[in-house]
A and B are shown apart, each in its own frame.
Chain A
Amino acid sequence: MIELKGVSKEYNSLSFSIKHFPLKRTKIRALNNIDLVIQPQEIAALLGPNGAGKTTLLKILATLITPDKGTVKIFNYYIDEHVEKIKKVLGIVNTNDRSFYWRLTLKQNLDFFGALYDISSSERKRAIKRLLERFDLIDVADRPFMTLSSGQRQKVSLARALLSNPKILLLDEPTTSLDPISSEEFIHLVKELAISSKDLTMIWCTHNLEEAQKVCNRYYILNRGKIIKQGPVDPDEQLTSIFQESLKNSQ
Chain B
Amino acid sequence: MKILAFLKRDFWISISYKLPFLIQIIGIIFSLFIFYYVSKLVGSGQNNILDRYGGSYFSFLLIGIAFSDFFLTSINSFAEEIRKGQLFGTLEAILVTPLSVPKILIYSSCYNYIFSSFRFMLYFLFGKIFFDLTFSSINFFLVVIVFMLSLFSFWGIGMISATFVIIFKQSSPLKWLLGSSTGLLGGIFYPSDILPTYLQCFSNLLPITHSIEALRLILFKGADFYDIKSQVIVLSVFAVLLFSLGLYTFKIGLKIAKKNGSLLHY
Out of B12, B92, B100, B258, name the residue touching A104 (CB < 8 Å).
Answer: B12
Query: In the complex the two chains form, is A96's CB within 8 Å of B96's CB?
Result: no
Query: In the complex the two chains form, is A115's CB within 8 Å of B98's CB?
Result: no
| B13 lies within 8 A of chain A by Cβ | yes
Query: In the complex the two chains form, is B259's CB within 8 Å of A111's CB?
Result: no
Out of B16, B100, B263, name the residue touching A103 (CB < 8 Å).
Answer: B16
Query: In the complex the two chains form, is A65's CB within 8 Å of B89's CB?
Result: no
Query: In the complex the two chains form, is A88's CB within 8 Å of B98's CB?
Result: yes
Query: In the complex, how many angstroms separate the beta carbon of A127 from the nearest chain B beta carbon?
Result: 14
Query: In the complex, how many angstroms separate the beta carbon of A26 from the nearest chain B beta carbon?
Result: 13
Residues of B1-48 contacting chain A, CB below 8 A: 1-2, 4-6, 8-9, 12-13, 16-17
Count of chain A residues with Cβ under 8 Å from any Cβ of B?
A: 36
Query: In the complex the two chains form, is A112's CB within 8 Å of B261's CB?
Result: no
Instruction: Specify which of B5, B96, B260 lies most central, judged by the most chain A CB atoms within 10 Å of its CB.
Output: B96
| A77 lies within 8 A of chain B by Cβ | no
By beta carbon, the residue of chain B nearest A108 is: B12
User: Measured between alpha carbons, how far is A108 from B263 in the docked complex, in Å?
Assistant: 26
Question: CB-CB < 8 A to B93: which residues of A?
Answer: 92, 99-100, 113, 160
Instruction: Specify which of A92, A100, A101 lies most central, judged by the most chain B CB atoms within 10 Å of its CB.
Output: A101
| B90 lies within 8 A of chain A by Cβ | yes
Task: Give a binary string over A16-40; 1 marks a CB under 8 Å from any B CB, 0 the rest.
Answer: 0000000000000010000000000
Query: In the complex, how many angstroms separate the beta carbon of B76 from the nearest chain A beta carbon?
Result: 21
Query: In the complex the two chains form, is B98's CB within 8 Å of A112's CB?
Result: no
Q: Main SS of the interface on chain A? A: mixed
Residues of B73-92 contacting chain A, CB below 8 A: 88-90, 92
Task: Give a binary string over A62-88; 1 marks a CB under 8 Å from any B CB, 0 the rest.
Answer: 111110100000000000000011011
Query: In the complex the two chains form, is B89's CB within 8 Å of A116's CB?
Result: no
Query: In the complex, how many angstroms separate the beta carbon of A203 from the nearest chain B beta carbon?
Result: 14
Out of B8, B17, B96, name the residue touching A92 (CB < 8 Å).
Answer: B96
| B97 lies within 8 A of chain A by Cβ | yes
Question: CB-CB < 8 A to A103: which residues of B?
Answer: 12-13, 16-17
6 contacts between A and B (CB under 8 A): A11-B261, A65-B261, A66-B259, A88-B98, A101-B88, A104-B16
Chain B residues at the A interface, C-beta cutoff of 8 Å:
1-2, 4-6, 8-9, 12-13, 16-17, 88-90, 92-100, 255, 258-261, 263-264
